A and B are shown apart, each in its own frame.
Chain A
Amino acid sequence: MDFKPTIVSFLCNWCSYTGADLAGTSRMKYAPNIRIIRVMCSGRIEPTFILKAFREGADGVLICGCHPGDCHYHEGNYKCLRRFHLIQKYIQQMGINKDRLRLDWVSASEGKQFAELADEMTETIKELGPCEVKNTMEKLDKIC
């Protein structure tokens, strides 16, 4: 059977969530694999959220915030960017391919870009195949 990945996506309220809404109001079609969680700012996104998503079986995590310089709270997205690089390193140590975690900027007017991003991310994850972290961790849980 076809591999149908699940991707958890964190979007900031002001730009990216609005951009995703615009993709909807413009009836742009994209892959159904993305599940969105709204946070006020990408600066709110902490490593535990991302790890939790993988732990629950997500095959990818997509974070979107306002473009650099456009964060509603001035610089939350820069803080997110810094954290992103650290988390990417960290998940690699856990054996998760770094491309399973992606950060991108989507403005309120970029509905099309959001739809394309969702498709692109789905393609990337399909190529990578299912993420095994959940299973590994479940096994570990049993052993311990």
Chain B
Amino acid sequence: MEEKRIGVYVCWCGNNIALMVDVEAVSEEMKKLPNVVIAKNYKYMCSDPGQDLIINDIKEHNLNRIVVAACSPRIHELTFRKALENAGLNPYMFEMANIREQVSWVHTNREEATRKAKSLVVGAINKVSFHEPLDKRSVDIDPATLIIGGGISGISAALLIADSGNKVYLVEKTGKLGGHTANVDLTFPYLYSAQQMIDFKIKRLINHPNIELFLDTQIEEIFGYVGNFETTLKINTAEKVELKFGNIIVATGLKTFDPSGIEEYGYGKLPDVITSSEFEKMLLHGKVQTKEGKVPKNVVIIHCVGSRNKNYHEYCSRTCCMTALKYSNQLRSALPHSNIFQVYADMRAFGKGCEEFYTQSSRKDIMFLMFDQQNELPKIREAGKKDNCNLIVEINEKLSGEPIEVPADLVILMTSMEAHEEAKNIAHAVGISMCGNDFYIEKHPKLDPVATTTDGVYIVGTCQGPKDIPDSISQAEAAAARILAIILQGSVHVEVTTAFVNEEVCCGCQTCICVCPYTAISFDEEKNVSVVNEILCKGCGTCGSACPTGAIRCRHFTDKQILSQIEGLMSITLEEV
């Protein structure tokens, strides 16, 4: 067997690791281990000079295995695998030890942290000692794309892909396209008509030769993997359509928060307390009025309804502050003599043109009142007979510190954006995860914001988190561009960390066939052994742990690799500290 020559690189991550872990001591310790030819520490391993360090050492010292102790492999494993490839080494002859997320960021005693870091690195060195070169496998890409959700996000992605000459299947669960954008009147901050923007796109979409539209349709199950997915759509009880596609965009959008649960606001009981969506409807019909059909003299707009509060959602819904300002502008033009109150927690004018919009709007004779969103929500009650209005809003005004009462004829609740209740169904169908708030999780929050951990599945628009129309479109078109790039290549590399049966050891018990969730294993009657179909296998490793004879090898997570990693981890304990 070829001599093992391992290079170990310990990253400082600036101060992120080096402050809590003695990186010098770690690299020194590793020099003592058998097969370790070189051990170094460096300020930023992922930087170009950091990668060059590895590449040059591989060439100069004939290294054939590399360990990097740095951040989580979920962030930079691919970066370093590429570096190995650039140096002519098989990218799988690599292992990372996570000494940032699992050590320096979570521990407080430098000595203990350093010992733990050492043990993780020894574990990685032990594991990489048993790594084997794995061949890349590529699969052809079906150029069709499935888009789930026909709001502004789904529509925008569909048009871009279809315009390039590729097929798009767009599945929308309701009978109508446009999503929430279709229910909005004007848009902040430039007050363009949402209808005009979306109608134009919908018309183009309906007539597009490359787009096949399925309204009133839902996805149940999707099979396959990047490049080769398939599903069966149930159009109605009799009709079924089978679709094949290479990529998926999830654009299922948002749901608006139901404020009936917030006692202070009396929504559902007080007829003139309405939600922002209901107010958009009034604006679209061109009539702002109370339940009794009167013109409201006092309009109160309450922010953060269901947002930024532990009892509801902790996050900010991002669009409601500006939507609320948009309402003051629209109200000021429609009802020049009315009193308009913005009852807000913090004014968030985050986007391009938004701070300017705030300044402009505040000059339009609008009263701004601040409340404490965490501790004391405003209270709405019915006005008395003598009062000259329908409702009274009680606020503990934060800036003045005074409790005040504001007259109201109409109260608009700026309800938050939330994930759909059935978000989980789609997550399961396409194999992606959700965060605590049920919004879908991107592959990396900074570096890979529209991809997911499942290759070939992208998330765009408000199903990923609250956002406005331009941000939704940006994501949609970014995902479309990602997919077009893959279609252009014609094929993609897929995971090669699949399972493999050693026919000489297999006793033919077929236990593995029973446990494989992807029916990737079949039985060869003639040879009396099981065989893994490597295209279908996703490398979960379940068969490997079920096989009684040890015939199954789960590539990159073999028994030998893991057992040896355990030995490494246990070779240095905290005891001596």
Q: Which residues of A contact B (CB under 8 A)?
A: 4, 6, 8, 14-15, 17-18, 20-21, 23-25, 27-30, 32-33, 35-41, 43-46, 48-49, 52-53, 56-58, 69-70, 72-76, 79, 83, 107-110, 115
Contacts and interface: CB of A to CB of B under 8 A. Distances in A.
A37 B562 contact: yes
A21 B106 contact: no
B72 interface: yes
A57 B436 CA distance: 36
A49 B563 contact: yes
B73 interface: yes
A56 B570 contact: yes
B254 interface: no
B538 A73 contact: yes
24 contacts: A4-B573, A18-B74, A21-B72, A21-B98, A24-B106, A25-B101, A29-B107, A32-B112, A32-B574, A35-B123, A37-B565, A40-B557, A41-B541, A43-B542, A44-B554, A49-B562, A52-B567, A58-B566, A58-B570, A70-B433, A72-B453, A79-B545, A109-B436, A115-B106
A73 B225 CA distance: 12
B307 interface: no
Contact of A24 (B72, B119, B120, B557): B72
Given A14-B433, A44-B540, A72-B540, 12 more contacts: A6-B569, A15-B433, A21-B72, A21-B101, A23-B101, A28-B106, A29-B108, A32-B116, A35-B120, A40-B539, A58-B570, A69-B428
Contacts of B567: 52, 56
Given A32-B113, A72-B431, A108-B441, A39 B106 contact: no
Contacts of A49: 562-563, 566
A39 B74 contact: no
B450 to A, nearest CB: 17
A39 B562 contact: yes
Given A8-B569, A35-B569, A43-B540, A79 B515 contact: yes
Nearest to A73: B540
A39 B565 CA distance: 12
Contacts of B538: 73
B540 A108 contact: no
A101 to B, nearest CB: 14
A30 B106 contact: yes
Contacts of A21: 72, 74, 98, 101-102
A122 to B, nearest CB: 11
Q: Which interface class (under 10, 10 to 19, 20 to 34, 35 or more) fits B?
A: 35 or more
B566 to A, nearest CB: 5
A121 B73 CA distance: 25
Contacts of B112: 32
A24 B577 contact: no
B566 A53 contact: yes
Contacts of B518: 73
A74 B517 contact: yes
A6 B570 contact: yes
A44 B433 contact: no
B553 interface: no
A129 to B, nearest CB: 13
Interface string B106-128: 11110011011001100100000
Nearest to B550: A48
A18 to B, nearest CB: 7
Contacts of B562: 37, 39, 49
Interface string B509-542: 0000001011000000000000000000011111
A6 B118 CA distance: 14
A36 B563 CA distance: 13
B540 A4 contact: no
Nearest to B564: A52
A72 B541 CA distance: 12
Given A14-B433, A35-B123, A23 B106 contact: yes
A27 B105 CA distance: 5
Contacts of B554: 44
Given A32-B109, A40-B497, A43-B541, A79 B546 contact: yes
B544 interface: yes
B318 interface: no
A18 B569 CA distance: 20
B174 to A, nearest CB: 27
Given A4-B577, A56-B566, A25 B545 contact: no
A41 B542 contact: yes
B381 to A, nearest CB: 38
